[in-house]
A and B are shown apart, each in its own frame.
Chain A
Amino acid sequence: MNEIRTLTIDGQLISADASVTILEAAKEHNIHIPTLCHLEGLSDVGACRLCLVEIEGHNRLQPACVTRVEEGMVVRTTSSRLQKYRRMVLELLFSEGDHICSVCVANNACELQDLAYAAGMDHVRFDYLHSTHALDASHDRFVVDHHRCILCARCVRVCADVEGAHTWDIAGRGHTAHLVSDLAQDWGEARSCTSCGKCLLVCPTGALFAKGFVVSDPQNKQDFLRYIANTKSRKAWKDE
């Protein structure tokens, strides 16, 4: 089914296949929409709310990553309201975890940091919540630092969809939600983990990292991200 839809994004008239999302259509035409939980090659969950866009005729903001293009749609990806909301989402994330860039393994290779720079977020207006989660270094090679986890669930998806191990999942509710390996065991005890390291490569922050590294290895990361994006576009594995 190759149907073409024409729509307007930020005043630019574009055409796109009916099966693509607003995010994909925008990217094709070099219109940048900030994302965090979205990762090309993985299924989308629409959880981070950074890619929210305004669509004329809709009274609600819609996430660009899961909303399909429609004929005659008029989409705005930047407005003072959207920019304010994106900045607030980032402020909330910074207030929730312990994101101290200067001592973080992901410093200068962190998507959260990049987004905060781009949004001009120079301070956080909310209370820092100082999470009481622990750091789990029980795995031979890897570490998970829950203080830096933003619960984007990329690791959950890559582990289930790509590696097929489904070691990671999320437990708890609301502000107590946290990442767990297997049946809420220490990562080192998680029998299903194949130690493939894919979760490290998709983690947007420094929550998952390899032992012995003081800084992350951006080159390795980029190679892998390109690899899963390409494999998905060849439909080499099933969506979801």
Chain B
Amino acid sequence: MREITIQQRARPMTLEELYQIGRAHRERVATFRAEIHVCGSGGCRSAGSEKLLDAFRAACEKKKIASDVRIITTGCMGLCGQGPLVRILPRETLYAGVTPEKAERIVSSHIIREKPFRSLLLDADHPFYASQTPIVLRHMGRLDPESIEDYIAHGGYEALAKAVTYSAPEHVILEIRNSGLRGRGGGGYPTGLKWDIVRRGTSKSKYVVCNADEGDPGAFMDRALLEGNPHAILEGMAIAGYAVGAQQGYIYTRGEYPLAVERMRHAIREAERLPVIGNRIFESGFSFQVDLRIGAGAFVSGEETALLRSIEGKRGQPQPRPPYPSASGLWGEPTLVNNTETLANVPPIVLNGARWFSGMGTERSRGTKVISLAGNLRNTGLIEVPMGTSLRSIIFDIGGGVRENRAFKAVQTGGPSGGCIPSQHLDAAVDFESLAQVGSMMGSGGMIVMDDTACMVDVAAYFMAFCRDESCGKCIPCRVGTVQLYRILDRIRRGGATLQDLDILEELAVMVKDTSLCGLGRSAPNPVISILHYFRREFEDHITGRRCPAGVCLMDNESETAATAPLPAGTSPQTEGSVHE
């Protein structure tokens, strides 16, 4: 067996063979009477989608159509909040909240009688899907992440084959530069420019690193990509490797994503088997290998210098930049570090051209953004919208507005590095500049919507506790500053703070932001600063009124004073404050 594998790997594939594989797979799929796609991403699996597979198989068995129906597990279908989701072809229909008990009725209705099963049917023009522009997510939920043939049948690896066959590396970089693609991990650095810097590095060994160490609470974009379309990331990495002159790639992801690790490992094996990754890719002079590195779940290891130290087997601690990894990264060699979503954008850009990509989005932020929409919304899940879409449209059109008709209070973007945006800025556009203008940031694309039952002091304390625990401890402002910031916030939450504490809180937040070594510390105070800016009244209510307007925080020794204490002038009485008495 082993020799055959080596023999196979020795002979590179051709573009014609790639097309053949795709054609053969499409023809095979076309012979089926129907297809059942069961969402196998994290959200739907936790809602029991694994049992659905067996249920649908049993149902088809019973109806004696088992050999005519193709049943596969796919990546994320988007509307995670209403999972498990199932898509059935032909007459493409999406079913939500499917249970194993309903499998047989869906099969007999949709496939046998050719009538949709109405009670679980998701409208074809459901607002959640209506205003999305899937580019990175174009194949998500439509292909089997464990089948390379399925990816090839959807046009996979064509971009890589064409790039290494017909384009010089400089041209690939030019295309990426012209597309206006910017880093999707939060920094927003122009991708083409970064590639160019690594390309110019004179060293013989260079590296491409895919940063899939997604750590923001409430964010699951990278995870969904790794689980749902791992080959797109491999292809993007290989194109990047070709463009910058690297022969080795590393995917750095976290041990908390076991399914992503499993699917990625499988994808690498399959790509090496064909081979579309390995020696002399598509008969060119370009060779590229990819290995997986698994972190132990330290948030700071998503910071690129810490990530590289972790790959080297050292303690994941950031280092001062410059030198940037593009000049001196892994083992001191020029290293390209790109976010997962950035790399997944590469194959479609190479295939469709820079002009196609730059036609979407805004002047300075081109293309689309994948966002994980979470919080108290009617529709939550994974979405992709053009850059420049307003927060209002994302939250109220796609998200369907706040659940239980409660009032919208704030949307948290950018995770623990971002900020909270109140309702007066709902018309802000989602792009790198506009979100920074309203005191938040794009970050990696996490979005958490809060209604009026959320206490903003409590939210600030939550994010600060997260940063405190995730600080690496190297520099003093972040290591001790986050502890002190949290203590002050907690004191405010418990009603034991003074107005002087609020001044110290502000002063320390700015100091930690200005003096910390890496992005974690520099952005850790952002939630506090933005919440203080927009929701100062709530802090003052806690301190001088000793009450929590949202009724979340429990005041110390509340029975003695707080319950009956009159609110100071200028604050509005809120009845919810008495809930916890």
Contacts and interface: CB of A to CB of B under 8 A. Distances in A.
Interface of A: 45-49, 52, 60-61, 63, 66-67, 81, 84-85, 88-89, 92-93, 95-96, 125-127, 129, 150-151, 169-170, 172-177
A170 B484 contact: no
Contacts of A177: 472-474, 479
A61 B300 CA distance: 21
Interface stretch (B81-89, B385-393, B442-450, B508-516): B508-516
Contact of B471 (A47, A66, A127, A175): A175
Interface in B479-496: 479-484, 487
Contacts of B484: 92, 95, 126-127
Nearest to A177: B473
A92 B470 CA distance: 18
B477 interface: yes
A61 B476 contact: no
Given A173-B298, A174-B468, A92 B515 contact: no
Given A49-B475, A85-B515, A89-B515, A175 B315 contact: no
Given A66-B320, A176-B473, A170 B515 contact: no
B170 interface: no
Given A45-B319, A174-B479, 10 more contacts: A49-B517, A52-B515, A63-B517, A126-B487, A126-B508, A129-B480, A173-B471, A174-B471, A174-B473, A175-B483
A163 to B, nearest CB: 19
A85 B427 CA distance: 37
Interface residues of B, number: 31
B506 interface: no
Contacts of A125: 504
A127 B508 CA distance: 13
A92 B473 contact: no
A49 B468 contact: no
18 contacts: A45-B319, A46-B319, A46-B517, A48-B476, A49-B475, A49-B517, A89-B515, A92-B477, A96-B483, A126-B508, A129-B483, A151-B474, A170-B473, A173-B298, A173-B469, A175-B480, A176-B473, A177-B473
Contacts of A173: 298, 300, 469-473
Contacts of A81: 514
Contacts of A174: 468-473, 478-479, 482-483
B504 A172 contact: no
A129 B478 CA distance: 15
Interface string B83-112: 000000000000000000000000000000
Contacts of A60: 514
Contacts of B483: 96, 129, 174-175
A142 to B, nearest CB: 23
Given A93-B480, A125-B504, A174-B470, A47 B517 contact: yes
A96 B487 CA distance: 13
A64 to B, nearest CB: 11
Contacts of B517: 46-47, 49, 63
A206 B487 CA distance: 27
A93 B511 contact: no
Interface string B407-438: 00000000000000000000000000000000
B473 A49 contact: no
B475 A47 contact: yes
Contact of A47 (B476, B480, B507): B476
Given A46-B517, A61-B515, A95-B484, A88 B473 contact: no
Interface string B515-540: 11100000000000000000000000
A172 B508 CA distance: 24
A236 to B, nearest CB: 22
B468 A175 contact: yes
Given A63-B320, A92-B484, A48 B298 contact: no
Contacts of B487: 126-127
B48 to A, nearest CB: 35
A85 B510 CA distance: 10
Nearest to A93: B476
Given A49-B516, A95-B480, A126-B484, A175 B473 contact: yes
Interface in B454-478: 468-478
A48 B475 contact: yes
Given A47-B474, A173-B298, A176-B473, A85 B514 contact: yes
Given A52-B515, A173-B298, A89 B476 contact: yes
